[in-house]
Amino acid sequence: MERLTIARAKCEYRQEATITDAIEAIDIYKEALSGLGLTLATAGELHGIHSENELSAISEMENMIRSNMAIEGVPLSAESIRHLEMECGALVTRKALTVRVDLTLHIQM
């Protein structure tokens, strides 16, 4: 997902990816899966990539990001991004998942 997010930003000649790029990358990924007759859940089960717990956390994080975007607009402020990182980190901890939460993606061109 990170690579797809970065590629999305590069398409617009930007050095830094945004939350919008990440959400669009997720949408692109979902569409690609759909073309294969899969969903996030079935692809994860098929490849053993994501558990239901992980998919639930991803969905909750997407909802948090979308809610902030609806309130604040795009781009999100640095303060909002830091808050989202903390909230996503707390969610990961509550669900006992081992992932790194970093909503700020830097692109190396």
Q: What is the pLDDT confidence band of residue 48, given thresholds at 50, 70 and 90?
A: low
Dump the DSSP string for 89-100.
HHHHHHTT----
- Mean pLDDT on 70-83: 83
**Confidence (pLDDT) at 44:** 62
Distance, in Å, from the CA atom of 106 to the CA atom of 50, rounded to the nearest integer, reads: 25
Categorize the per-residue pLDDT at 96 as very low, low, confident or very high, splitting at 50, 70 and 90: low
* 61 vs 63: CA distance, rounded Å: 5
Bridge-based pairing of strands 16-17 and 105-106 is antiparallel
pTM listed for this prediction:
0.44
List pLDDT tens digits, range 1-43: 888 888 888 888 988 899 898 988 888 888 887 777 777 777 6
